[in-house]
Amino acid sequence: MQKQLENIGNYFSLVKIHHTLFSLPFAMIGLFLAFKETGSVISLRDLLLVILCVLFARNAAMAFNRYADVRFDSKNPRTAARELPRNIISRQAALAFIIINALLFMGAAWFLNLLCFLLSPVALLVVLGYSLTKRFTSLSHVFLGLGLALAPIGAYIAVTAHFDILPLLFSFSVIFWVAGFDIIYAMQDTAFDKSEQLKSLPVFLGSKNALLLSIVFHVISVGFLVTAGLIGPFGKIYWSGMAIYTALIIYQHILVKPNDLSKVNLAFFTLNGIASVIYACFVIADLYL
């Protein structure tokens, strides 16, 4: 029993299961916005299926990232202790995990509606394809943002079976929010990426300019959320959440400096995770209160 729990724990560690926190809050925004706009009763079935879709798609994407990058991860001191470089999980087992989660994602999408199912291979292509982008473009951070940006519009489609401008604004915000903080995270590997001829904005622009671009991306991200607040059915609760969210985004840029990356993990995971959860709670509260 203990061995089985350890094996499960290894897979949770492989995909950094707690990082699901980045995509799930915005998926919940898209879902509850759809419930509200259609006048539907909140469906626990749809809620569970959307959560499963987010979980399975992210598991497949993260495991594929580890699978595709095992050669680089084994050379990088920061990542050499990961499960695949140490063979705690074999490449064959990781590939099987990717395939199973991809199929489970498509299955969950089928139970939502036909449009979700038809779009599920496209979603998988985006979220898995990100892992290869740093081999040929410095804009890999934007591709990562695009992958996570599928969450709010996908959750909205799960209920409505159509696109709309408001969830798209949330998705556009996610693109620049994620790209902005991924630039900060990538600054840890600038020297290694240069040595392996991998591309990133810190490599292309240098740490100082990349950090400035990260700020620009986050300003754009907040701008999309402000636009959503202005055209959507929102009030004071929404804007209170926006204020807290914006303050936390600003704070992460105070923490990280080009010559001091000691607080990258605090800025990358803790602040962004807290910001997204708080913002989602305020948005949903505004919709229903």
Question: Above pLDDT 70, what percent of the chain?
Answer: 98
Asked if residue 1 has pLDDT above 60, the reply is no
**Whole-number pLDDT of residue 258:** 81
**CATH number of the domain that residue 47 is part of:** 1.10.357.140
Which pTM was predicted? 0.94
Note whether 117 and 110 are within 8 A (CB): yes
189-245: per-residue pLDDT in tens?
Answer: 999 999 999 999 999 999 999 999 999 999 999 999 999 999 999 999 999 999 999
pLDDT, averaged across the chain: 93
**Whole-number pLDDT of residue 35:** 96
CA atoms within 13 A of residue 200's CA, in its CB half-sphere: 29
- For 43, the enclosing helix (H) or strand (E) is none
162-180: per-residue pLDDT in tens?
Answer: 999 999 999 999 999 999 9
Calpha distance 8→6 (Å, rounded): 5
Collapsing DSSP to helix, strand or coil, 185 comes out as helix
Collapsing DSSP to helix, strand or coil, 105 comes out as helix
Asked if residue 33 has pLDDT above 70, the reply is yes
Asked if residue 2 has pLDDT above 80, the reply is no
Q: Indicate the DSSP class of residue 85.
A: T
Of 177, 7, 183, 196, the closest CA to residue 89 belongs to 7
Asked if residue 252 has pLDDT above 70, the reply is yes
For residues 252-259, average pLDDT: 87
Asked if residue 22 has pLDDT above 80, the reply is no
Note whether 96 and 30 are within 8 A (CB): no
58-114: per-residue pLDDT in tens?
Answer: 999 999 999 999 999 999 999 999 999 999 999 999 999 999 999 999 999 999 999
**Whole-number pLDDT of residue 6:** 62
**Whole-number pLDDT of residue 76:** 95
Asked if residue 4 has pLDDT above 60, the reply is no
Direct distance between the N- and C-terminal alpha carbons of the chain, in angstroms, rounded to an integer: 46
**Whole-number pLDDT of residue 203:** 96
- Residue 48 neighbours by CB under 8 Å, 6+ apart: none
Number of domains in the chain: 1
Q: Which residue has the higher pLDDT, 103 or 6?
A: 103
Residue 77: how many CB atoms within 10 A of its CB?
7
Backbone φ, ψ for residue 39 (5° rounding): 70, 20
Spacing of C-alpha 233 from chain mean position: 25
Question: Please, is 114 exposed, middle or buried when counting C-beta atoms within 10 Å of its C-beta (0-12, 13-18, 19+)?
Answer: exposed
pLDDT band for 3, please (50, 70, 90 cuts): low
Calpha distance 236→230 (Å, rounded): 11
Domain of 148 in residue numbering reads as: 2-288
**Whole-number pLDDT of residue 247:** 96
